[in-house]
Amino acid sequence: MSLIKNIFIHIFLLFFFSNTIVHSEDLKKIGKFKDWEVMVLNNDSEKVCFAQTKPVLQSPKGQTREARLFVSFRPKDKIVDEISTTSGYEYNTQNSIRAKSGKNKYKFDISQEGFAWIADNKIEKKMIRTMKKGSRIMVTGFNKSGSQTIDHYSLLGFTKAYNSAKKNCT
């Protein structure tokens, strides 16, 4: 888990801070597909490919948070279809982080240092099928004080971004 956490923290730092541990030549943008983009992180020990998106709408309004939704591939660790999210804050461990698209609901099982993951690859595959068919997915989380946030993500371009990320890491 710590490797995953470190990779996402480094990616997060790269996007939001000018002094970063990850060098820009290690992280390359492969393409943009409507509301999704594909990135590849290469370093000496491994290659990570991921599709990511930012929310198109956030609640409560007026709070700017650096939220993201990711689908990652890490061939060295034989990990595919890894879904993770960050809402831009440290999660409250007393409440669940959930995603909803249409009638489909998914629970993120693991949260650590502002990121959350789904632990079961079968559920991740089901969620990816939902994301390929849907137009929007909402992620609900709770911050340390217990306040709820909802991030609405567009799924326009998801299938192409997903296929590109998968292709670049297989």
The residue range of the domain holding 122 is 2-168
Under 8 Å between Cβ of 47 and 41:
yes
Query: In this model, does residue 8 exceed pLDDT 60?
Result: no
Query: In this model, does residue 14 exceed pLDDT 50?
Result: no
Query: In this model, does residue 56 exceed pLDDT 60?
Result: yes
Cα–Cα distance for residue pair 137/115, rounded to 1 Å: 17
pLDDT score at 170: 78
24's CB contacts (< 8 A; 6+ apart) are 14
Per residue in 127-163, pLDDT (tens digit) is 999 999 999 999 999 999 999 999 999 999 999 999 9
Task: Calculate mean pLDDT across residues 15-21.
Answer: 39
Task: Tell me the two tokens of residue 151.
Answer: 């991030």
Q: What is the CA radius of gyration of the chain?
A: 15
Higher pLDDT, 145 or 10: 145
pLDDT score at 2: 46
Q: What is the DSSP letter of 113?
A: T
CATH number of the domain to which 133 belongs: 2.60.40.1880
Do strands 136-142 and 68-74 pair parallel, antiparallel, or not at all (unpaired)?
A: unpaired
Query: In this model, does residue 110 exceed pLDDT 60?
Result: yes
The pTM score is 0.85
Task: Calculate mean pLDDT across residues 51-78.
Answer: 95
pLDDT score at 64: 84
Higher pLDDT, 138 or 112: 138
Residue with tokens 């930012």: 54
Higher pLDDT, 126 or 16: 126
Task: Calculate mean pLDDT across residues 104-122.
Answer: 95
Cα–Cα distance for residue pair 11/40, rounded to 1 Å: 10
Domain count for the chain: 1
Query: In this model, does residue 107 exceed pLDDT 90?
Result: yes
Under 8 Å between Cβ of 169 and 40:
yes
